[in-house]
Amino acid sequence: MDTAQHNRIEELYYEMFDMLMAYARSALGNEALAEEAVQETFRVACQRPKQVCESVNPQGWLVQTLKYTICNMRNSQQSARRLLEKYMETRGHEASFSEDHLDLHILYKNVADTEEFKLLTEMVIEGRSHLEMAESRGISVDACKKRAQRAREKLRTKIKL
């Protein structure tokens, strides 16, 4: 990214941040997840500065990127939710996240105390963002995303056994 592209993306950030946050907040219903979505949108913009800066409508490019980011976040949460539900069903329990959080730990104490299960329940049931989960663990957001990915993979493996 050259200086002109950097400056243009910075201008777009100041121009569009509030509107993108409002959109993400409305779509996700969670301030922390909305902030994460907007940050991810600008991360993508920084990875593709030429596309953003040469776009006939860079503001529209950012909005569209935010829409895709929100869609990806929802898909990730739904995937984790389905995985937890499937795991619970394989253990002979009704899959319901309306149960008291403590009940989940009683029902699934063989895995409930694992870091993987805690991470997925925080993401799916509590709706916590990667940033919130990373801060509570004292790790980077990227490390938290990788741990969530590995947790889903580990739970998938347990379900297949």
As a dihedral over the C-alpha atoms of residue 50, residue 54, residue 58, residue 62, rounded to 10 degrees, the angle is -30
pLDDT tens digits for range 117-143: 788 878 877 788 888 888 888 988 888
> For residue 133, what pLDDT is reported?
87
> For residue 90, what pLDDT is reported?
67
Low-confidence ranges of the chain (pLDDT < 50): 95-108
As a dihedral over the C-alpha atoms of residue 100, residue 106, residue 110, residue 115, rounded to 10 degrees, the angle is 40
- Has this prediction a pTM greater than 0.75? no
The tokens for 123 are 């993401």
> For residue 29, what pLDDT is reported?
87
> For residue 157, what pLDDT is reported?
75
How far CA 130 is from CA of 5, 59, 125, 155, in Å, comes to 28, 26, 14, 19
> For residue 5, what pLDDT is reported?
92
> For residue 69, what pLDDT is reported?
94
> For residue 113, what pLDDT is reported?
65
